[in-house]
Structure 1
């Protein structure tokens, strides 16, 4: 069965069924370049603690040196725009699955593609990384989109799961 909508569903034994639109993820701050995601060292970070440390350093600097506006804002914006126009991006699946709030006792996630249904343990699904753009362009349905699934260990980096239509929590 071939779907034409560029949306993907999270449904099944969840408190909140979710509709995902990969076309808007380019504006999401959680997006990461695929190469960076799989090659960068991952460290668990306490966001509140990191923010507090950064804010403290910033305030200390301003007290000592005075406030200085960075002269490079235009070049930073240009670099970011260029990165978005040329990058290959993805986003972790875990926040979406957790927001759907799977019911107690859930053990697996069924991924439905155009051609098959694949079953994965919940722990594996929580590590999925969803590719949604390639070379600065959204993945087209005709080319295996709207998203691709990469395993958290990058074992399928060259052969991601394509044509994903839904995630059913069981």
Structure 2
């Protein structure tokens, strides 16, 4: 139940969505595409933070969320920080979001501004998991690309 980021990147990395529930960068699915709190603003907030800070910081999440909220909400994780850490090479043209049986080809900008749905009703996605890919504008929110196992850059 991991997701690999590899291909035309400086640092291939492996993600474990099962630990994101305590990550401060997670967003409630229903609020992620709310016009009052645009996804782009959230990305800018995280990308503007001190790069020397250890990520992820989990102390605020433990204080902010009570157990009932954690067990009832669906959560998404912006992909931006992970891709920034992997350092996509400047000559990369496309990203392929891969599942066990299929793939979705997207632009670099589209993947940078996208999210991964990793928890539904407070539970880790096991069927069709470990995560679902959703474009940053939410256009496939109702029909996300499921079973994401790899993000490959060409």
Please, which runs of 5 or more residues in structure 1 have no aligned partner?
A: 1-5, 49-75
Report what 2:106 is aligned to.
Answer: 120
Aligned residue pair count: 136
Name 2:148's counterpart in structure 1.
164
Alignment of 1:43-122 (within 5 A): 43=41, 44-45=44-45, 47=49, 80-122=66-108
Q: TM-score, normalised by structure 1?
A: 0.74
CA distance in 1, matches of 2:111, 2:65: 33
CA distance in 2 between partners of 1:136 and 1:118 (Å): 26
The structure richer in helix per residue is: 1
Could you say which residue in structure 2 is the equivalent of 1:11?
Answer: 6
* Matches of 1:78 and 1:103, distance apart in 2: 37
Runs of 4+ displaced beyond 3 Å: 43-48, 76-79
1:11 deviates by: 0.4
Larger Rg: 1
SS at the partner of 1:98? helix
For residues 77 and 19 of structure 1, the distance between their equivalents in structure 2, rounded to whole angstroms, comes to 27
Q: Which residue of 142, 148, 151 maps to 2:135?
A: 151
Instruction: Please report the RMSD computed on the Cα atoms of aligned residues, expressed in angstroms.
Output: 1.9
Distance 1:101 1:86, change over 3 A: same
Q: Unmatched 5+ residue regions in structure 2? A: 51-61
